[in-house]
Structures are given as C-alpha cells and as structure tokens.
Amino acid sequence: MTDLKQARILVTRPAHQAENLYNLIRENNGIPIRFPTLEIVPIILGNNEIEQHLIQADWFIFTSTNAVHCYCSLLDDAKIRQLKTKSCLAIGQATAKALITVGLNVDLMPEHGYNSEALLELAQLQNVSQKNIVIIRGENGRETLAETLKKRGANVSYQDVYKREIPEIDCTEILQKQLDFITITSGEAIKNLVTMLPEMQHDLLKKIPLIVVSERIQTIAKNLGFESITLAQTPSDDAILNIITTIINGEESG
C-alpha cells in the first residue's frame, strides 16, 4: 500500500467528482480534506436546439466527463439512439469512459494526452473540410479546438451544457488545517481557490505545495504566485496519488 504518512491533502474537485480521490487518500494513510472550489451547474437546453444538432452534425466532440453527463441527461432514448449514429470523439480517457458508461461508442480519442492539442494531433482531424462538428462543453471553455478545426475547413458549433460557478462554502478556517498539499485539476479551480480565500491569507496559501494535472494549470498557478508546483503525469486520481507519494519520499517539486 502507498503510504502518504498522514499528509493533509486538500481535494478541490467538484463535490460530485471528489469521492474517488478522497477515498484513495484515506485508504493510503493520508488525510483528505474536502474543499470544492468549483460547482458544475447544468444548462437546460431546448428540445429544438438539441434536435437540430443531432440532425446536422457528423461528429460530436465531448471535452470532459461533465460534458458527457450533462448533455446525455438531456436526451431521451430516441435521441441517444440518434447520437449513436454519429461519430463521438473524446478529449481523453476519462471522457471516453464516461461515454461508454452511458452506452455510447468512442470513435476517436488521443492515445496520449488529454487536451485539445492532443486531439488535434490525430491524423483523422487533419482534413475535416465540410465536416459538421458539434463541440459539447462547459460555458466559456477554451477556443483552441474550434478555431483550429475551422481553419482546417470544418463547420463548428458549440453546445454549452454546463456552467462553472464558485461554491458557497465557509472558507475562513481552511488554512488552519495545516495543509501539506493542495490538488488542483482545472484552471478555474485554482483561480477560484484564490478568490474564495481572504486576501490576508494569500501569502500562506501560495506557499503550500500544489499538485496540478496539466502544463496549462501549472502556468496559471505560477502567474498567480504559487511557489511550489508539481505536475502529475496525467489527470487521473492514481497519478495525483503517485506524485504526492514521490514527493513525500524525497523528490523535490518543480
């Protein structure tokens, strides 16, 4: 068993996605502390809007597990069957697993990587002239995927299926818990963490070792002034656990 040596680890995933990491930490002799810095709020779409995309689209690209669950919760059995006739692309392994869980096939996903850039490197996405592509995502998501596909000749539209909001929770005593690590799995999560805590606590906050899951989040954290940031190999909970274990056993963070 991995030994986290009673390290106190802040879990900032949205409440409905935190359970697995929380349990992994606890099962491996760590002390997990729940503190969601992001709340996923579904957007209710009109039936006509959903139907129009289902008729017109050749491909659906899902950008996250939240995108899969929020979108598919809006579909009845007939629309799910209709979606199965389209090509479904996943931005990474977790998203692909979510698609399979709801009964959909995954026609394409990156073998390595878990972001827009990795998906855009696939050979099948180099020539997409006249393809009708719908990107299922959260509101105000990144534009890289759509912009690049449009340059390659595709007709691209968005279906925003959820909003990201700051949870209303008591933040006043969180830094009194003597945290050893903070885990961050999105850019919004790290920005919200800083926003949620009083400014007088920011200096202390930014000295706590941070575990992030992408170079993009690493850059955001550096720009916010965090002093100790370590990048996990993948966004998976196992990878987060492994990198914390490595640090505890003596490897310095980057």
What's the number of domains the chain is made of? 2
Of residues 141, 11, 131, 10, the one with CA closest to residue 70: 141
23: in domain:
yes
CA distance 61 to 6: 41
Of residues 212, 224, 216, the one with CA closest to residue 254: 212
Give the pLDDT confidence score for residue 2 in this predicted structure: 75
CATH number of 109's domain: 3.40.50.10090
Q: Which residues face 87 on adjacent strands?
A: 59
Which helix (H) or strand (E) covers residue 211, if one does? strand 210-212
Q: Are residues 73 and 128 in the same domain?
A: yes
Q: Give the mean pLDDT per block of 10 residues along the chain (254 residues).
A: 89 94 96 95 93 95 96 95 96 94 94 87 94 95 93 96 92 88 95 94 96 95 97 92 91 44
Q: Say what the alpha-carbon torsion angle 63, 82, 43, 154 is, to the nearest 10 degrees.
A: 50
61: in domain:
yes
1: in domain:
no
Give the pLDDT confidence score for residue 254 in this predicted structure: 42
Interhelix angle for 215-224 vs 187-196, to 10°?
20
Q: Are residues 33 and 139 in the same domain?
A: no
Q: Are residues 70 and 160 in the same domain?
A: yes
Q: Are residues 131 and 76 in the same domain?
A: yes
119: in domain:
yes
Give the pLDDT confidence score for residue 253 in this predicted structure: 40
Q: Are residues 23 and 104 in the same domain?
A: no
Q: Are residues 194 and 144 in the same domain?
A: no
User: Which residue range is the domain that position 148 belongs to?
Assistant: 46-164
CB of 231 closer than 8 Å to CB of 215: yes
CA distance 194 to 173: 14
Give the pLDDT confidence score for residue 251 in this predicted structure: 54
CA distance 141 to 63: 9
* Final residue in a domain of this structure, among 140, 164, 188: 164
253: in domain:
no
Q: Are residues 74 and 148 in the same domain?
A: yes
Q: What is the DSSP letter of 100?
A: H
134: in domain:
yes
Q: Are residues 149 and 58 in the same domain?
A: yes
CA distance 94 to 96: 5
CA distance 41 to 43: 7
Give the pLDDT confidence score for residue 19 in this predicted structure: 95
Tokens 């993009």: give the residue.
216
Beta strand pairing status for 155-165 and 132-138? parallel
Beta strand pairing status for 155-165 and 39-42? antiparallel
Q: Are residues 57 and 86 in the same domain?
A: yes
CA distance 185 to 197: 18
Compute CA distances 48 → 79, 86, 170, whole Å.
12, 18, 40
3: in domain:
no
Give the pLDDT confidence score for residue 210 in this predicted structure: 98
Q: Are residues 152 and 223 in the same domain?
A: no
CB of 64 closer than 8 Å to CB of 145: no
Compute CA distances 31 → 100, 130, 175, 184, 205, whole Å.
32, 52, 14, 16, 18
Residues in the chain: 254
Q: Are residues 158 and 197 in the same domain?
A: no
25: in domain:
yes
Q: Are residues 157 and 78 in the same domain?
A: yes
* Final residue in a domain of this structure, among 141, 164, 187: 164
* Final residue in a domain of this structure, among 134, 164, 194: 164
